[in-house]
Amino acid sequence: MELLTHKTGSGPEIVVLSDPAAFTASFGWFVKTGARDEQMEVAGVSHFLEHMVFKGTQRRTAEEVNRELDHLGAQSNAYTSEDSTVFYASVLPECQAHAVDLLTDLMQPLLREEDFETERQVILEEIAMYDDQPPYGAFERVTELFFGDHPLSTRVLGTTETVSDMLATQMKDYHRSRYTRENMFLVASGKVDFTQLVEYVAEATANWPSHPNLRQPQLPTYGSGEVLIERESTHQHYAAQLWPGVNCNAPERYALRMLCSVLADEGGSRLFWELIDTGRAETATLWPQFFDECGCVVGYLCCAPEDADENEEILRNVIEQTLRDGITQKEIDLARNKIASSLILSDERPSNRLFALGQSWLNRKNYEPLGVVLGRYAAVTADDMMAVAEQTLRQPCATVKVVGPPE
């Protein structure tokens, strides 16, 4: 495989992980914009705009967009997160020109008023449905408690109030300022005709907005404490927790992921044997999240209400014992092998490489081949893991619990 990049003038950068032996090709527009880039009065606009992109362009109606995706046999979708919005498709290599033309056209949608009002109802239903399902908004609420007035506290879906009050003109302004040549990357992997891709993108994006409204990261002041949410409809106990973490470029990120694997991945971890294998809990896990300037460790517990106090005590004891007594070499080796296997299996598909490449380019403007990444994990020591444990799990956390009505 070969990493190819191209940047001409003020046009969008093109990044390709070329694999001439592949049987498929994957393409994606990665936009460095998400919930954290929104003003509070338009919270949810990035996700709303992701929906609106598929409602038609100057060249295609919404129906034509869907028909062409079907005709291509594409595996396609889009998603919005706190810090990015991504539109992607995987196709046969001979469909490259059509697929890239379609994806690129979608990046400049019409954003018609009538489509805006129709899709607003879809978003409002999505918010209501999400809030009415377990864990009933616990992750959104704990994120607000933890990040406070930092932009990362903004809900990806927005709120019923912000989506209801949003204007189509506000979305158009947001699109013009964020979907710009400086803030977008076309990423591809697999069997890609690089020359054709460069020629097409240079011409197709020549008239795109140019507005260097780039993100200005700021360090958060982490909040802590505990909030209870009562829901009559729940028969389970849910707890979401956030501890301070590390940023997406921190060398400690490898040790932190291994630490979370040792403590609480889905199989063979300390919490698995204490809570899952024993039948005490349905879910008990920890995982890291990484952002530009900071990060967090996310904890999630789901169990029967009558077991909640004891299970939470077990979770605390597992963390405290780790901080006190450390981690065994056997646990380190197991975590390293599980992570390596997951990365190697994922790297076999061009579509998976697309996301690894795209996210790496958004975060740090470079790409580490699989061998380099595996080497980073191989170099992690027990001291590295204990140092990052002190840096994260030793700190105060924010907790939101969802409970049923009092008996």
Q: CATH number of the domain that 366 lies in?
A: 3.30.830.10
Do residues 275 and 308 touch, judged by C-beta distance below 8 A?
Answer: no
- Ranges of residues in the chain whose predicted pLDDT is under 50: none
The verdict on 175 and 264 lying in the same domain is: no
The verdict on 199 and 242 lying in the same domain is: no
Q: Confirm whether 213 is domain-assigned.
A: no
Tell me what pLDDT residue 271 has: 97
The verdict on 96 and 190 lying in the same domain is: yes
d(CA 386, CA 256) in angstroms, rounded, equals 9
Choose the final residue of a domain: 174, 204, 234: 204
Query: Measured between alpha carbons, how far is residue 279 from residues 29, 274, 308, 355, 366 in Å?
Result: 43, 9, 13, 35, 44
d(CA 170, CA 216) in angstroms, rounded, equals 21
The verdict on 183 and 234 lying in the same domain is: no
The verdict on 173 and 63 lying in the same domain is: yes
Do residues 127 and 13 touch, judged by C-beta distance below 8 A?
Answer: no
The secondary element (H helix, E strand) that includes residue 89 is: strand 85-91
The verdict on 132 and 65 lying in the same domain is: yes
Choose the final residue of a domain: 172, 204, 236: 204
Query: Residue 140's domain spans which residues?
Result: 2-204
Number of domains comprising the chain: 2
Place of tokens 């580490």: 368
d(CA 362, CA 376) in angstroms, rounded, equals 20
The verdict on 231 and 146 lying in the same domain is: no
Amino acid in the structure at residue 129: M
Beta bridge partners of 90: 26, 75
Tell me what pLDDT residue 100 has: 97
Q: Confirm whether 320 is domain-assigned.
A: yes
Residues written for the chain: 407
The verdict on 168 and 303 lying in the same domain is: no
The verdict on 329 and 198 lying in the same domain is: no
Q: Confirm whether 218 is domain-assigned.
A: no
Tell me what pLDDT residue 407 has: 67
Q: Which residues contact 52 (CB under 8 A, 6 or more apart)?
A: 109, 111, 115, 116, 119, 171
Q: How many helices (H) and strands (E) does the chain have?
A: 15, 11
Q: Confirm whether 56 is domain-assigned.
A: yes
Amino acid in the structure at residue 332: I
Q: Confirm whether 248 is domain-assigned.
A: yes
The verdict on 266 and 303 lying in the same domain is: yes
d(CA 253, CA 14) in angstroms, rounded, equals 27
**Interior CA angle at 213 toward 289 and 201, to 5°?**
90
Q: What is the pLDDT of residues 21-70, one digit of tens each?
A: 999 999 999 999 999 999 999 999 999 999 999 999 999 999 999 999 99
Phi, psi for residue 225 in degrees, rounded to 5 = 110, -175
- For the beta carbon of residue 238, count every other beta carbon within 10 angstroms: 24
Q: Confirm whether 210 is domain-assigned.
A: no
Tell me what pLDDT residue 10 has: 75
The beta strands (E) that lie in 211-274 are given as: 225-230, 237-244
Amino acid in the structure at residue 270: R
The verdict on 119 and 253 lying in the same domain is: no
Q: Confirm whether 217 is domain-assigned.
A: no
Q: What is the pLDDT of residues 91-111, one digit of tens each?
A: 999 999 999 999 999 999 999
Q: Confirm whether 253 is domain-assigned.
A: yes
The verdict on 129 and 278 lying in the same domain is: no
